[in-house]
Structure 1
Amino acid sequence: MDAARLKQSWSLVAAHGDQVPLYFYSTLFLAHPETRQMFPTNMAGQRDRLVTALGHIVSNVDQVDRLVGFLQDLGADHRKFAVRAEHYPAVGEALLATLQHFLGEQWTDELAQDWAGAYGLVSQVMIEAAQAAEAVNPPWWVAEVIGHERRAFDVAVLTLRPQYLLPFTPGQSIGVSHPSVRSWRYYSPANAPRADGTLELHVRAAPGGAVSSRLVYGSAVGDQLHLAAPVGDRLSLWSAGSADLLLLASGTGWAPVKALVEQHRHGVIPSAGAEAKLPAAKEVNLLSAAQREAEQIIAQAHDYARRVAEYARVQYESYVQAAAEEAKQEAERAVQDYRSAAGSSFDDGVATREALRIYGEMMISHMQAAARHLDDGSEHLARTMDRLVGQAGTAVRAGAGQGALPRHQQR
C-alpha cells in the first residue's frame, strides 16, 4: 500500500467538492437501499462529515498510531446508527466506485489495490472496536424526558432519566437523538453524575437544526430520547492542584461549567490516568460573558426579537414540511394496508377517500399543534421583553447619580 499514492489520489478527488459525497451516497443507496435508513433525512451535514473523515484518514494513513484511536472511536460511535459488520463491504464498494468515477483514466489497478487494502484495514479496526464496545455499552441508551422547562423562546432545559446508568465525566458530551429524527447532536450535561442517574441538558434551538428544534419545540414530559456514549475530555476537569480556578462561559455554554462546579463541590477531582484523588482548586471564580448596561440590553432586546421572528419562520416551514411528509406516509401506509386486506375487492374510490381523510386529519392536528407552539412562543417573548425592559430601567437608575457625560465623551 503506497501512502503517497493514496494521498495524491484523494487530493484529486476532494477537489470536486460536494459532488464527491453526493455521488458516493447515491451509489450506496441505489445499490444497497437498506442502508438509507441509517442516515438522516437531510444529508447536507452528513456529506460534510464524510469528506472530513476521509480526509483525516488519508492524511494520517502513514501514521498508524494516530489513526487507530480515531478509527476505534468512529467504529464504536457508528453503532448508534445500527451499523453492523455486514454493512462495511457495501460502503467499500461505493467508495471505490466513487474514486474510480472522479479519477477517470488515473484510476489504475495498482491504485485500486491500494484503496481496497486501506479500506480493508480501516473497516477491520472499526468493526473490532464496535465489537469491543458492544461488550461494555449498548449502541444507545433509551431515556425518558421527566422534565421540560422553556427558559426562553428558543431555549429549553430537559431533565432525562436513562433506562440504564449512563456513566460520564463532567465536561464530556453525550449524543442525543429523537426517534423521529434520524440525526444526532452532542450536548454536555449540566450536572455531575447523580445517584439517580438523571441528566440535565440545556438546549438552544438552532435555525434549521432538526434535533435541537425537536428537543425545544417538539418534546414533552414522557417522551423517549436516544442517548449515545459520552465522548471527549478537553473540557473535563482533572486537577487544579492548589491554584484557583477560573471558569468563563455564556448562554447554554454554562451547561458543562455547571457540571464542573458540581463536581468541584465534592472537594476532590479525579486525576487523569490515576486512581488517586487530587485536591480541588482553592477558589472557583465564575465569569459570565454578558453585559448589563442599558445600551447593551436594548441591543439584546432588539436582537432577541429579530431572532424570534426568524426562528418562527424557519421552524414553522420545517414543521409544516415534516408534518406533510408524515401525513403522506401515513396515508400511503393506510392504502397499502387496505389493498392487502381487500385483495381483489380493492376499490380505488374507497382508498382515495380514506387516504384524504387520514391526510387531512393529521395535517389539521399538526397545524393545531403549530398554533399552540406559536402561542407559547409569543408568551415567552412577552415575558423576556418585560424582563429586558426591567433590566434596562435598573441600569439607567444605577447610573443616574453619576451625571451625564460631557458631549465630547459620549459614545
Structure 2
Amino acid sequence: MNRPSSPYASQPEEEREPTATPAAPSAAQAPLSDREISLIRASVAVVEPLAADMTVYFYAILFTRYPDVRPMFPPGMDAQRGRLLRALLRIVDLVDDPGGLVRFCGHLGRDHRKFGTLAAHFPAVGECLLAALARFAGPAWNADVAAAWTKAYGAVAQLMISAAEQDAAARPAVWPATVVHRLSRGHGIAEITVRPHLPYAYAAGQYVSLETPWCPKQWRYYSPANAPREDGTLTFHVRAVPGGTVSDALVRRTAVGDVLRLGPPMGDMVLDAAVHSDLLCVAGGTGLAPIRALIEEVARRGGRHQVDLFFGARTGSELYAVNDMLRMAQRHHWLTLRGAVSHEHVPGIRGSLPHVLAEYGPWYQHDCFLSGPASMVASASETLTFHGTLPDHIHHDPFETPVLSTR
C-alpha cells in the first residue's frame, strides 16, 4: 500500500518577526492549561486559510537562517510543505490528549532519525515556526499566544528527542535492503521483495518508509504484504501514479540487485489490537498489502480468528491479487473472501466497499481492519459506526499519517 513521506521531516526574510524563541526543551514540562490550549487552537484557526503561504515562508526563513539544514531535504519541497502542515494540525488536535500526543511525537522522533535530525536542530525549527505563525496570525498573535506555543513546542520537541535517543540505543536509523525479487502485477503495480542487510523487526499491518537511489531524500511509505518471515525478506505492493517520482521509480526502474533503504516500521494497525475473535478486513486497491500481512499473521498464530475479507476495486481486472487470496481462502477454513467491483458489471458483488459492508453486516461483534484510499477508509468507518461497531474496534492508520499519498 502506498504511503506518504513523513509529514514533519527535520524542520530545523529576512526580516524576523517579533516572537519568543523556544528554548531547548527541559526534561519536565508542565501540562498545557485549558487557556493555553484555547490560545493555540484559536491561532491555528486564524492561520489555516493561509497555511500554504505560511509553510513556504517557514522553510524560506529556516534555510536562510540555518543553511546547514538545507541538504537534509529533497530538492523539491512542494510535498514536504504539506507534510509539515498535516503534522502541525495533528499535534494541535492532540494537545489535550497526552497519550495520543506521546504516541504521535514518539513516532515522529523515531522516524526522523533517518533524516539525520539531531537535538540541536529543534531550537532552530521552533524559532522559525513561531516566526511564521506570528507573521501570518497578524493581530491575533500576542505575548500570551507566543508563550503558549513556546511551551507546546518545547513539550513536542522533548518527546521527539527522547524517543529518538531511546531508539538510537536499540537499532539503526536506516536499513539498507537488496531487491531479491520483482514481479509485475499489471495496472502499474509491482511486487518488490527486499532482504535487509541487518535484522528488521516489524509487526504485520505496520508500514515502512522507503528511499530509492534514484530519488534521494524522498521517502514514501509502503506496507509489507507479508507477516515476518524466517528469511527476513519483506514484500511490497507499489502502484505507479502520474507524477509520482518515488512510486514510478520503484515500479519502472527497480531490478534485482538494487539497494533501497528502509526507515523504521510505524503504525498500530496490528493483530494484537483486536479484542474479538472475529475479524473483518476491508482492503481497497494496494491497501490489500497490510491486510494480507495480517491474514498471514493469523495463520502463523494457528488460525484462532475467523476472518471475513472484502477486497474492492473499480474494475474486476484491478483486483490484482485476487487469485492469491482465493488460494489462501482454500488453505484456511477460517478465511472468507468477497471481491467487490464498483465501476463495472461483472459476476459477483457490485458496489463500493462501504455499501457492500452495510449489506453484509452487521459487524459490531468484529474487530475491523481497514486499508486503502483515505476516502474509502473514512466512508467504511462511518458505515460500520452507524451500524453499531464501536470506534475502538475499528482499526486503520491515522488519516494524517498515511493520507495515502502515492507519489
Is 1:287–2:338 an aligned residue pair?
Answer: yes
- 1:220 maps to what in 2? 255
- 1:39 maps to what in 2? 73
**Helix, strand or coil at the partner of 2:120:** helix
Matched residue count: 287
Q: What is the CA distance between 1:130 and its match in structure 2? A: 0.7
Q: Quick one: structure 1 residues 126 and 93, their matched pair in 2 at CA, closer, same or farther if it must change by over 3 Å?
A: same
Is 1:85–2:136 an aligned residue pair?
Answer: no
Q: 2:265 aligns with which of 230, 240, 258?
A: 230
Distance in 2 (CA, whole Å) between partners of 1:44 and 1:167 is 32
- 1:263 maps to what in 2? 297
- 2:228 maps to what in 1? 193
Q: Quick one: structure 1 residues 131 and 242, their matched pair in 2 at CA, closer, same or farther if it must change by over 3 Å?
A: closer
Q: What is the CA distance between 1:293 and its match in structure 2? A: 7.8
- Alpha-carbon displacement from aligned partner over 1:165-206 (angstroms, at most 9, x marks no partner): 111221111111113322222211121211110111111112
- 1:5 maps to what in 2? 39
Q: What is the CA distance between 1:106 and its match in structure 2? A: 4.0
- 1:203 maps to what in 2? 238
**Helix, strand or coil at the partner of 1:156:** strand
- Alpha-carbon displacement from aligned partner over 1:231-277 (angstroms, at most 9, x marks no partner): 2232536668664x5544354333223323322333437xxxxxxxx
Percent pairwise identity:
42
Q: What is the CA distance between 1:287 and its match in structure 2? A: 2.0
Distance in 1 (CA, whole Å) between partners of 2:259 and 2:345 is 42
Distance in 2 (CA, whole Å) between partners of 1:249 and 1:101 is 43
8 Å contact from structure 2 (residues 207, 267) kept in 1: yes
Q: What is the CA distance between 1:35 and its match in structure 2? A: 1.6
Distance in 1 (CA, whole Å) between partners of 2:213 and 2:117 is 16
Distance in 2 (CA, whole Å) between partners of 1:242 and 1:104 is 54
Distance in 2 (CA, whole Å) between partners of 1:206 and 1:235 is 27
**Larger relative contact order (Cα-Cα within 8 Å, sequence gap ≥ 6):** 2
Give the letter aligned to residue 130 of structure 1. Answer: A
Q: Quick one: structure 1 residues 236 and 186, their matched pair in 2 at CA, closer, same or farther if it must change by over 3 Å?
A: farther
Give the letter aligned to residue 145 of structure 1. Answer: V
8 Å contact from structure 2 (residues 271, 297) kept in 1: no
Q: Quick one: structure 1 residues 261 and 15, their matched pair in 2 at CA, closer, same or farther if it must change by over 3 Å?
A: closer
Q: 1:132 aligns with which of 152, 166, 173?
A: 166
Distance in 2 (CA, whole Å) between partners of 1:34 and 1:75 is 20
Q: Quick one: structure 1 residues 118 and 262, their matched pair in 2 at CA, closer, same or farther if it must change by over 3 Å?
A: closer
Q: Quick one: structure 1 residues 98 and 166, their matched pair in 2 at CA, closer, same or farther if it must change by over 3 Å?
A: same
Q: Quick one: structure 1 residues 75 and 291, their matched pair in 2 at CA, closer, same or farther if it must change by over 3 Å?
A: closer
Distance in 1 (CA, whole Å) between partners of 2:128 and 2:342 is 52
8 Å contact from structure 1 (residues 170, 237) kept in 2: no
Is 1:160–2:194 an aligned residue pair?
Answer: yes
8 Å contact from structure 1 (residues 249, 289) kept in 2: no
- Alpha-carbon displacement from aligned partner over 1:52-84 (angstroms, at most 9, x marks no partner): 221222233233333222111111111121111
8 Å contact from structure 1 (residues 161, 199) kept in 2: yes
Distance in 2 (CA, whole Å) between partners of 1:91 and 1:166 is 31
**Helix, strand or coil at the partner of 1:8:** helix
The structure where strand makes up a greater share of residues is: 2
- CA radius of gyration, larger in: 1
Within-5 A mapping of 1:30-109: 30-109=64-143
- Alpha-carbon displacement from aligned partner over 1:83-134 (angstroms, at most 9, x marks no partner): 1111111101111211221133443333323222221221111111110111
> Can you give the 5+ residue segments of structure 2 that lack an aligned partner in the other structure?
1-31, 307-332, 348-407
Q: What is the CA distance between 1:290 and its match in structure 2? A: 4.3
**Helix, strand or coil at the partner of 2:62:** helix
Distance in 1 (CA, whole Å) between partners of 2:281 and 2:136 is 48
RMSD of the TM alignment (CA)?
A: 2.7
8 Å contact from structure 1 (residues 173, 188) kept in 2: yes
Distance in 1 (CA, whole Å) between partners of 2:297 and 2:219 is 27
After TM superposition, the score normalised by the length of structure 2 is: 0.64
After TM superposition, the score normalised by the length of structure 1 is: 0.64
8 Å contact from structure 1 (residues 189, 259) kept in 2: yes
Q: What is the CA distance between 1:48 and its match in structure 2? A: 1.6
Distance in 2 (CA, whole Å) between partners of 1:241 and 1:18 is 43
Distance in 2 (CA, whole Å) between partners of 1:262 and 1:105 is 56
